[in-house]
Amino acid sequence: MSRPPTRLGVLVAGVAVVGIGVGAYFAYGHSEVSGSPVAQLRSWVAGTGLGQSIGTVLGDAARVRQALAAHKGAGVVHTDCAVLLTDAQSANGELPSPNASLTRLLSSGYALAYDAGTDCYDSNGTNRALLARARRERIEAEATLSQAVALVDRLLGTTLTTTTTTTPGGGFLG
């Protein structure tokens, strides 16, 4: 039988949690908060792997498009759609960026990609209405993420590379 926690035990656990939070803040939370907006954005882009994140989502969207066009089985479509929604959700977890306009574009693009993946997944590759909605959402997501890339390019004066280093399923490199 377990004993109820003592006041000292609760206090020690609380201090440990706060200590971990403070340590995490100092390790990660304030990197490049000072400096110019361009320096902050450059640091955030590099730290989050933004180009690879966008490239992954675009590659996933292309794999879904290819699987549907090739009339792959429901299992393949299900898997590709699930990967799209998972990768979009993961990329969205890197937000916010130091630039509000970029954050809005990325958030919208990732949300559209997530919705496209969800609708595609729910369609089981056969529900035409869901597949049509997923297609529209995929196209909008790709356009919105392209706008985000163009904004980063303009703000940083560089070209953001959106290729990925791996191609699960031999798909598109974005």
**Domain architecture of the chain: domains with CATH:** 49-163 (1.20.1440)
pLDDT digits (tens, 9 = 90+) for 73-120: 889 999 999 999 999 999 999 999 999 999 999 999 999 999 999 999
CA distances from 152 to 9, 98, 170 (A): 49, 11, 28
Whether the predicted pLDDT of 5 surpasses 80 = no
pLDDT digits (tens, 9 = 90+) for 28-74: 444 445 789 999 999 999 999 999 999 999 999 999 999 999 998 88
Q: What is the pLDDT of residue 22?
A: 36
Cα separation, 97 vs 84, whole angstroms: 21
